[in-house]
Amino acid sequence: MFGFIHESVRQLMIRTYGEAFWAKVLERAGFEAGKENIINHYYSDQDTYTLIDAVSVILKVTREQVWEMYGCFLIQYTMETGWDDLIRSMSPNLKGFLDNLDSLHYFIDHVVYKANLRGPSFRCEDNPDGTITLHYYTGRPGLYPIVKGVLREAAKRVFKLDVSMSITGRTQRSVQMATGERIEEHVIFLIKTQNTDQSNEDALGTAVVQHSNNYKIRLTHMDFVTTFPYHMVVDQDCKIVQVGRELYNHIPKDLLTVGTPLMRIFEVTRPQIPLDFDSICNFINAVFVLQVKTTPMEFQRNANKRAGQITDGFDNAQEDGNTAVATLSQSQHLKLKGQMMLMTSGGHIMYLCSPYVTSIPELLQYGLRLTAMPLHDATRDLILLNQQRLSDVEMNLQLEANNEQLENMAKDLEVEKGKTDALLREMLPPSVAQQLKQGLSVDAREYEEATVMFTDVPTFQQIVPLCQPKDIVHLLNELFTKFDRLIGIQKAYKVETVGDSYMSVGGIPDTVDDHCEVICHLALGMVMEARTVCDPINNTPLHIRAGIHSGPVVAGVVGAKMPR
């Protein structure tokens, strides 16, 4: 069963008996906490039965009592979780509500959860005294108490009615399906009103409305099959009596002759029942989806013709042609969705349906066009609205892709901006760099005490003529890189380099009292580091000289290109 069932059982038990009780239930049922109520997960029926049996044992009540209690809560919980308006809008009376339960199950199954669940089916009969006989069919025997709880609570909450329900019959039979044999349970309920001044007819909605107009409209056979291009009428043996005009475009004509068994043409995909008269009548309120077993020869010839055109147009595209044939072959098995209606004669059923398509690509796959749908058929609007929705989804996906691309570009821009800022901080003091980034002008500033040092290589002018330019660059790079490391250690500031000259300062831009000491330590470090660099002329340690002076200084930013 779907995880929503487990979650609603959990809510019922916690609200009624508390968290500790539910923990005992999970322990007895062998479930791990948090794994028993995943909404969109499909649990086996045995898992659900084990959970209910655990509740039954701990509460010391029967399983049927637990299911009925759950049925009462299910309506309450469903209305709390956003289904209130839909449930109240289904019908003005209880009988109409029951007649539409099958379509509600179909909507929840195929539209909300997009699953293929085995839901129950309900069929009402009006009794002469105004009461309702409800036929309940399910492939899960033993769940009928849920129906009692659901209907009593729904009658009370939606229609302000108190109803009594008694079981007048309960049978089980074995049904042979394409997937194998299964047990189907049929439970018959008698529904009456109680504690009300209204009659059963008025309260339950079983009163027959008398029509005074006796005028009879007669349609010719051609008018009918044209007005309802997708329909079928079958007799009690489920053999074809009449079909709509458009079905000839999807089914071979020799199969649409009068007397052809319905099961020879179609297989039923929903509800999961045998395709016979009695089973259809039992599930008369269900949404029926039938799939065509065979395809007309005209459709096959069109498939071959289109595949041949693809092959002729592309000499080396045999694989693509085979793919096109496979696609067309899949598209030939048309699905029809509609309603089975028992005709007043009682011996015939009419299937009013439409092609089960929801988008224009699906429409084209079946070789259909919108003109195949009559104007009164809401499938037209569904296809167009869904196509608009798909276009919106595609546009949203494109917007999301664009947003993702913009986010990536913004991240890259931030990375590049960080690199630029780092480079600017290397060229200028951080405080000055921040002012320039903000577009502010940087005025010259006077410092009362600072220490400036110039260092250079005394033998540089003798080295230059005897070395290659790239060797000179390598020499200065090795030397100044070592100096730069010392600048960082001593917290001094590097002003610039010109040739072999290296200018640094202490006490600027951040004023410190020990600026002279900082520069002296820096000078000693530079002298020692320079000895680790080899003189390319005589292969001896390189010597440098340093000039230091302390006093007042005026500092500012000079220039716009590569400002210093």
Least confident of 66-75, 242-251, 368-377: 368-377
CB-count exposure of residue 76 (10 Å: 0-12, 13-18, 19+): middle
Res 209: pLDDT = 54
In the predicted structure, residue 443 carries a pLDDT above the cut 60: yes
pLDDT of the residue at 213: 59
Both tokens assigned to 429? 């003091």
How large is the average pLDDT for residues 42-50?
A: 87
Per domain, the residue ranges of the chain are: 62-173, 221-382, 445-555
Closest CA to 205 of 96, 356, 66, 324: 96
Residue 555 pLDDT > 50: yes
Residue 200 has pLDDT above 60, yes or no: yes
pLDDT digits (tens, 9 = 90+) for 321-372: 444 334 444 445 788 999 999 998 889 999 999 988 888 888 888 778 887 7
Instruction: Return the SS3 of 214.
Output: coil
CATH class of 221-382: alpha beta
Helix (H, G, I), strand (E, B) or coil at 129: coil
pLDDT at 489 over 70: yes
pLDDT at 212: 58
The token duo for 46 is: 């045995």
Residue 560, classed as helix, strand or coil, is coil
Which residues have C-beta within 8 Å of that of residue 350, sequence separation ≥ 6?
231, 232, 233, 340, 341, 343
State the pLDDT at residue 374: 81
CB 524 within 8 A of CB 544: no
Name the CATH topology of 445-555: Alpha-Beta Plaits (3.30.70)
| pLDDT confidence of residue 317 | 37
Average pLDDT over residues 7-30: 92
pLDDT for 112 = 65
CA contacts within 13 A on the Cβ side of 497: 13
Nearest 5°: phi and psi at 200? Answer: -60, -40
pLDDT at 160 over 50: yes
pLDDT of residue 528: 92
Question: What pLDDT is attached to residue 322?
Answer: 44
SS3 520: helix
Q: What is the mean pLDDT of residues 57-75?
A: 93
Check residue 300 and give its pLDDT: 55
Distances (CA, A) of 109 to 116, 352, 375: 6, 21, 28
Place of tokens 């080396």: 316
**8-state DSSP, 328:** H
- Is a pLDDT exceeding 90 seen at residue 168? yes
Helices 45-59 & 3-17, crossing angle to 10 degrees? 10
Which has more pLDDT, 124 or 562? 124
Does the structure show a pLDDT above 60 at 309? Answer: no
Q: What is the Rg, in whole angstroms, of the alpha carbon atoms belonging to the chain?
A: 43
Instruction: Give which of 102, 90, 176, 183 is closest to 136, Cα–Cα.
Output: 102
Classify domain 62-173 at the CATH topology level. H-NOX domain (3.90.1520)
Q: What percent of the chain has pLDDT over 90?
A: 25
Average confidence score pLDDT of the chain: 82
Torsion of Cα atoms, 473 then 478 then 479 then 485, to 10°: 130
Closest CA relative to residue 175, chosen from 75, 64, 295, 268: 268
Residue 89: φ, ψ to 5°: -90, 0
Identity (one letter) of the amino acid at 280? I
CB hemisphere CA count around 302 (13 angstroms) = 16
Average pLDDT over residues 458-473: 88
Question: Of residues 436 and 160, which shows the higher confidence score?
Answer: 160
